[in-house]
Amino acid sequence: MKFIINNESFDASPLAWPEGSTFRLMYEGDRNADEFRLTNSVLKSDSIKLIIDVVTRNVEKIRLRTDEVNWKELKIVVNYLGIGLSTDYIYPLFLTIEDRKNRYLFESNTTGGLDDLIKIEESDIKTRDSDYTIIIEVPYYHNLRHFLNRNYDKCDSLMKRLSTIPNLFVAGDYALARFSKFRIPWLYIDVFSYGDNSLTSLKRASEMCLTFEDHFDGTQYCPPFPCRYKTMISIPIFNEEVYCRGFRFRFILIKYDSPSHILNSLDIDSSCVGFNMKDPDTFYALPRFIRAYETKTNTVDPTIRGMINIIDHAGRLLIDNHGRGIARAKDIMRRLTSLIDNDKGIISVSDHVRRLISIVCKGFNIAVPGYHYPSVSLSYRMIPSHIGMPMNSRIGLEYLLIASSKRCPVEETYDRHGYSVAEGETYDFVIMDVMNEGQREFVSTDKLNEMVTYIPNYPLIELVSTSDDICYQRTYTFYG
């Protein structure tokens, strides 16, 4: 179908436009039209062409640099076209041609099976330098040996029992560690399911996990309890050995069509590897995982909205109660990768950046495509941070740039009583009785350790659609 913006004419699929954008709404209002036209003299040709390159998936264009973009003019264009990602929409143009081709090839395939992914072994991967500018590096003294999780045999035994349930796929934290032959630390086994009966499979797996003799039942000396959120059921597994700490099974309550769909939904490159529960030693990955593992670098991608928090509250409690090594890893994060306003507390940051930062202590640098350190100029809004004035909101690229240049400390804040509840109050989690869907009252303890009844916002165990969160308007952006 033909689209025209001022004097720029081009052919593209109407579905290539983001949901809620101006051209997409025009098409949905008149699907029989031959062309759609927008005219506004304020829109500049160079910025229009950038949008066209993304819509038409131009893989021949040489990689763009951030200092080659007129961000004010681009902002006007994306606002006029109603593009929710704002200026971050042109992110693919900052990628190398090869990465752009791989992105377009694999992200569109959400229904393919394992054969549509890359089957890979660690011995296939060669070390190389990153194609993008690294702005946060793993410290030279960083030693992963100090905080490796050695629950190998226990995991194999438990996963073998879960392997009788169909269409279970493990990706992310544990899959990365297993792929590395456990040279990379891990804390979670993230279990996904795909296909028509995925909710049934996840419920069965969760119920089976709760029968494991080693799961936390609330009577042990430290309190990571089974918890359920809107998008996951999290069940901790206990280990009494001195040098082994516990871990968590996390059953992801998100609807997926295939393993390819699962990996493409993950926003951290180094997490895009996984295996079928029935065959834990055969690994499947996306090209961006291979790039991350080759270069030991994750790239910022503000266009992907990951729906799973790599570090959840319960996970932090587990970290705090086990092992000096993880404490050292958190110390590295504090000293390396964030900002703190000593007067007003933590500076806000997007979940995507937090997840990137959490992977630094696993040996992965952070790079920003399109960003070139010698040519970047800091926004005037960032200047107060360099003259000692308080900063009350820094997100996205600004957050990373300042953290990189200042090497400021980071603080993680959380309430150790975060899962205590008050009588009759509503909460976003279900604690302990995680399979309860209203058959019984929801009860837990308050801060005085007395039993009280509470109301969960999500009493039913349901799958969340990956499309539920696609159409939204960005208030802040990484670029521009």
How far apart, in whole angstroms, are the C-alpha atoms of residue 241 and residue 230?
A: 33
Q: Indicate if the pLDDT at residue 139 is higher than 90.
A: no
Closest CA relative to residue 303, chosen from 172, 472, 464:
472
Q: Sign of dihedral through CA atoms 183, 188, 189, 192?
A: negative
Between 248 and 355, the more confident residue is: 248
Summarize the confidence of residues 393-403 as an average pLDDT. Answer: 54
Maximal C-alpha separation, the chain: 70
Give the residue range(s) of CATH 3.30.460.10 domains in the chain.
114-128+144-297
Convert the pLDDT of each residue in 20-63 to its tens digit: 999 999 999 999 999 999 999 999 999 999 999 999 999 999 99
Q: What is the pLDDT of residue 477?
A: 66
Between 232 and 157, the more confident residue is: 232
Q: What is the pLDDT of residue 332?
A: 34
Q: What is the pLDDT of residue 44?
A: 96
Q: What is the pLDDT of residue 212?
A: 77
Confidence band for 320, pLDDT divided at 50, 70 and 90:
very low
How far apart, in whole angstroms, are the C-alpha atoms of residue 160 and residue 205?
A: 12
Give the residue range(s) of CATH 3.30.710.10 domains in the chain.
2-94
Q: Indicate if the pLDDT at residue 155 is higher than 90.
A: no
Q: What is the pLDDT of residue 319?
A: 29
Q: What is the pLDDT of residue 361?
A: 76
Class of domain 114-128+144-297: alpha beta
Q: Indicate if the pLDDT at residue 340 is higher than 90.
A: no
Q: What is the pLDDT of residue 102?
A: 93
How far apart, in whole angstroms, are the C-alpha atoms of residue 459 and residue 428?
A: 9
Q: What is the pLDDT of residue 397?
A: 58
Contact yes or no for 104/43 (Cβ under 8 A): no
- Most confident of the following: 149-163, 181-195, 311-325, 363-377: 181-195
Question: What are the tokens at 348?
Answer: 């806000």
Q: What is the pLDDT of residue 45?
A: 96
Cα 158 to chain center, whole Å? 26
Cα 340 to chain center, whole Å? 23
Q: What is the pLDDT of residue 301?
A: 84
- Most confident of the following: 64-68, 132-136, 219-223: 64-68
2-94 folds as Potassium Channel Kv1.1; Chain A (3.30.710)
How far apart, in whole angstroms, are the C-alpha atoms of residue 331 and residue 325?
A: 10
Question: What are the tokens at 146?
Answer: 């100090």
Summarize the confidence of residues 102-120 as an average pLDDT. Answer: 83
How many alpha carbons fall within 13 Å on the CB side of residue 247?
24
Q: What is the pLDDT of residue 180?
A: 93
Q: What is the pLDDT of residue 331?
A: 40
Q: What is the pLDDT of residue 216?
A: 52
Question: What are the tokens at 259?
Answer: 């393993």
Give me the amino acid identity at 137.
E
Burial class (CB in 10 A: 0-12, 13-18, 19+), 367: buried
Q: What is the pLDDT of residue 62?
A: 94
Convert the pLDDT of each residue in 250-297 to its tens digit: 999 999 999 999 998 888 999 999 999 999 999 999 999 999 999 999
Q: What is the pLDDT of residue 37?
A: 96
Q: Indicate if the pLDDT at residue 160 is higher than 50.
A: yes
Query: What percent of the chain lies above the pLDDT cut of 70?
Result: 70
Q: Indicate if the pLDDT at residue 85 is higher than 50.
A: yes
Summarize the confidence of residues 107-133 as an average pLDDT. Answer: 87
Q: Indicate if the pLDDT at residue 136 is higher than 50.
A: yes
* HEC letters along the chain: CEEEECCEEEECCHHHCCCCCHHHHHHHHCCCCCEEEECCCCCCHHHHHHHHHHHCCCCCCCCCCHHHCCHHHHHHHHHHCCCCCHHHHHHHHHCCHHHHHHHHHHHCCCCCCHHHCEEECHHHCCCCCCCCEEEECCCCCCCHHHHCCCCHHHHHHHHHHHCCCCCEEEECHHHHHHHCCCCCCCCEEEEEECCCCHHHHHHHHHHHHHCCCCECCCCCCCCCCCEECCCEEEEEECCCCCCCCCEEEEEECEECCCHHHHHHHCCCHHHCEEEECCCCCCEEECHHHHHHHHHCEEECCCCCCCCCCCCCHHHHHHHHHCCHHHHHHHHHHHHHCCCEECCCEECCCCHHHHHHHHHHCCCCEEEECCCCHHHCCCCHHHHHHHCCCCCCCCCHHHHHHHHHHHCCCCCCCCCCCCCCCCCCCEECCEECCCCCCCCCCCEEECCCCCEEECEECCCCCCCEECCCCCCCCCCCCCCC
Q: What is the pLDDT of residue 52?
A: 97
Question: What are the tokens at 29?
Answer: 């209002």
Cα 249 to chain center, whole Å? 18
Between 168 and 477, the more confident residue is: 168
How far apart, in whole angstroms, are the C-alpha atoms of residue 88 and residue 75?
A: 10
Mean pLDDT of the chain: 77
Convert the pLDDT of each residue in 402-433 to its tens digit: 555 544 433 333 333 456 788 889 998 898 89
Give the range among 231-235, 243-247, 352-356, 386-390 with minimum mean pLDDT: 386-390
Contact yes or no for 277/254 (Cβ under 8 A): no
Confidence band for 67, pLDDT divided at 50, 70 and 90:
confident
- Most confident of the following: 21-35, 108-122, 200-214, 216-230: 21-35
Q: What is the pLDDT of residue 315?
A: 29
Burial class (CB in 10 A: 0-12, 13-18, 19+), 81: buried
Query: What percent of the chain lies above the pLDDT cut of 90?
Result: 47
Give the range among 4-8, 13-17, 157-161, 436-440 with minimum mean pLDDT: 157-161
Per the listing, tokens 């609807």 go with 255
How many alpha carbons fall within 13 Å on the CB side of residue 234?
27
How far apart, in whole angstroms, are the C-alpha atoms of residue 375 and residue 377?
A: 7
Please work out, in degrees rounded to the nearest 5, the angle formed at the alpha carbon of residue 297 by the alpha carbons of 168 and 129: 130
Q: What is the pTM of this model?
A: 0.80
Q: Indicate if the pLDDT at residue 356 is higher than 60.
A: yes
Q: What is the pLDDT of residue 377?
A: 44
Q: Indicate if the pLDDT at residue 359 is higher than 90.
A: no
